[in-house]
Structure 1
Amino acid sequence: MNIKRLSWVDGAKGFLMILVVIGHYPGQLDFPLVKYIYWFHMPAFFILSGLFFKPVIEKGLMKGSVHKRFMQLIVPYLFFLGSITLIRYGIEIGSGNLDISWYVNDFWTLVVGGRFARGAYGVFWFVTTLFFTHLFFLWMTKYFSLTKQIIILAISYTIAHYESFFAMSVIGGAPDTASQTVPMIWNIDVVLMAVVYFSLGYYMKSIWMNVSRKWLIVALISSVTAISLDRFHVIDYHLSMKFLRYEHFILDLVIPITFTLALVGIFQFMAAQLSVKWLQTIEKHSLTIMYLHIFTDILLNDYFTYGLVGFTAFGLVVPIVLSIVIQKFIPHGKLLLGGFRQKKTAPNPAIMN
């Protein structure tokens, strides 16, 4: 993997992390920026994750691959879940909340996780969904031909839309409330949708790795057109993977792919012309930013008054500082932040001969 490619990938992921922070801004904005961010930012993360997926074909390597992803995703998940919970419970006890039933109910909600964990845990669903998406795609690529993989993905995509229709239309109400009528631990059912985006990153690798000027222009024009159609009320499109809100069988593919293609193309062009080191820094600490930006606001908004810019700045800077502190001063800090690396084993002479 060459440095130039790493540069644009890290830059794009760093920018997407900024969008994640902005997307959780609790205030009101004149322009529906958050709506358009949700059109593509989470699908883009799954697409970029699929871009670097490596199938496991050889016998005996599946366990190692699963272990690696567990250490990189679930260990940090448990670390931040436990850390935030301890601080929250300490604050609750300090404020006089000694209601045992409250702690039992709250803890059970955290165990279930996914769309049921709100507030400081609002983004935790993504990591568990990504982990099980990776497992699902590992299984698909190991045991099924390409044709059967595509059939499985089509079925998965269809089931996801039926589930969304049931929650949004049959149950009805606000998406967050409606989706919570469908019981599921860790948002594993979102894998049905996520694996499709993940697979697009893997199958379309040759396109993502070198977005041509023609495709970039098409993607940009299409993205601007989609926003214009929404602004003029020709369409009213929404997408929320966390809350099972998939509203359009075609646009749920077209819009995320179009916007992600534009994003990737722009950052490939930028990386070739400019330095994106500041975005690479954000990407380097993206896991901590993701877990802590909402909690940072919860802790600070009683002491500071700030708008979108302040919210975003605090949501980036504070977690980055904490990420550096954790890695330098806490035993196994890098491991707790997903920095697990498997030891390379010597090649088997029998295989090489």
Structure 2
Amino acid sequence: MNKKRLTWVDVTKGFLMILVVIGHYPGQLDFPLVKYIYWFHMPAFFILSGLFFKPVVEKSLMKISIQKRFMQLIVPYLFFLVSITLIRYGIEIGSGNKDLSWYVNDMWTLVVGGRFVRGAYGVFWFVTTLFFTYLFFLWMTKNFNRTKQLIILAVFYSIAHFESLFAMHVIGGSPSEAAQTIPMIWNIDVALMAVVYFSLGYYLKSFWMNVSHKWLIAGVLVSISAVLLDNYNVIDYHLSMKFLRYDHFVLDLIIPLSFTVVLVGIFQLIAAKSSLNWLQKIEKHSLTIMYLHIFTDILLNDYFTYGVIGFTAFGLFVPIVVSIIIQKFLPHGKLLLGGFSQKKASSNRAVT
């Protein structure tokens, strides 16, 4: 991938990260913006992640590939999990909470993770799901041909929808409550749905690398039509990957794909004429922003009054500052933020 192509990917991911922050705004908005953000922002991340997937054929390289992804995803996950928890427990102890059972129950919830952790950990499910999505797709591409891969994906997609149907309509209640009645560590079951989006990024790589004007227009028309149909109550579409809410077997592909086509197409056009450095910088610190934007609001909302703009500004600025501090002042700071390179690791072993 050349530099221009990498630029539009970074810019698109930076914009999506802004949408992630806005999507967690706890207040009420006049326009159902959050609902529409959830239609596509998480699927888009999985699609763009699939763009960079490289199959591993040799058995000897499988362990190396998994280790790399573990260091890039799970090490930062554990770092932020422990860091936020220590601060939370410090606040709890300072406020007089000495109930040992509360801490034991809280720790157990953190171990299970996924949809069972809320509040400051509201986005942690994405990283563990992405890790297992990568493992699923790595296994598929190594052991099966393209036809069998598509069959497996169809089975995964169907199982995911059956699970959603069971949670939303048999168990019932709010999506978060219904989903939490189905036990699963680290939201591994969500990877059944995520791997389908991930595969679309990989299989359609040539399409995504240069979205034509024709497809961009088609994506705009489908996206606008979906919003209008929803606004006039012709459809009532929702998508929440975290809480297993997949509302429609067909629309769960069409709507996220159409919005992603629009975003990618637009930012490819813009990136060809402008660098949009500010979005690239947001993407550069996206991991820290993802982990800390909700926690930032939890720490600050007692001292500041702000709407969605203030929430978004704090949710971006504070984590970026923290990210810079971690990288510059903490030992192995870049590694803690996912900056692991197999080449660097190999060269370090060679030196020692």
TM (norm. structure 1) is: 0.97
Structure 2 counterparts to residues 143-292 of structure 1, below 5 A: 143-292=143-292
CA distance in 2, matches of 1:341, 1:59: 20
Note the alpha carbon deviations across 1:149-184, whole angstroms, 9 max, x for none: 000000000000000000000000000000000000
What is the letter of the counterpart of residue 198 of structure 1?
A: F
**How far off its partner does 1:3 sit?**
1.2
Note the alpha carbon deviations across 1:3-32, whole angstroms, 9 max, x for none: 101110000000000000000000000000
* Matched position secondary structure for 1:314: helix
**How far off its partner does 1:228 sit?**
0.6
**How far off its partner does 1:275 sit?**
2.2
What is the letter of the counterpart of residue 78 of structure 1?
A: L
CA distance in 2, matches of 1:58, 1:209: 27
Note the alpha carbon deviations across 1:78-133, whole angstroms, 9 max, x for none: 00000000000000000000000000000000000000000000000000000000
CA RMSD of aligned residues (A): 0.9
TM (norm. structure 2) is: 0.97
CA distance in 2, matches of 1:11, 1:194: 22
Q: Which runs of 5+ in 1 are unaligned?
A: 347-353
Structure 2 counterparts to residues 117-128 of structure 1, below 5 A: 117-128=117-128
Structure 2 counterparts to residues 3-22 of structure 1, below 5 A: 3-22=3-22
CA distance in 2, matches of 1:285, 1:270: 21
CA distance in 2, matches of 1:68, 1:12: 24
What is the letter of the counterpart of residue 285 of structure 1?
A: H
Residue number in structure 2 paired with 1:349? none
Count residues with an aligned counterpart: 346
**How far off its partner does 1:343 sit?**
1.5
Matched, 1:65 2:65: yes
What is the letter of the counterpart of residue 328 of structure 1?
A: K
Residue number in structure 1 paired with 2:322? 322
CA distance in 2, matches of 1:275, 1:76: 28
**How far off its partner does 1:59 sit?**
2.8
CA distance in 2, matches of 1:42, 1:77: 18
CA distance in 1, matches of 2:187, 2:255: 23
Residue number in structure 1 paired with 2:350? none
Q: Which runs of 5+ in 2 are unaligned?
A: 348-352
* Matched position secondary structure for 2:9: helix
Residue number in structure 2 paired with 1:26? 26
CA distance in 2, matches of 1:332, 1:220: 44
What stretches of structure 1 move > 3 A for 4+ residues in a row?
Answer: none
What is the letter of the counterpart of residue 329 of structure 1?
A: F
CA distance in 1, matches of 2:254, 2:220: 13
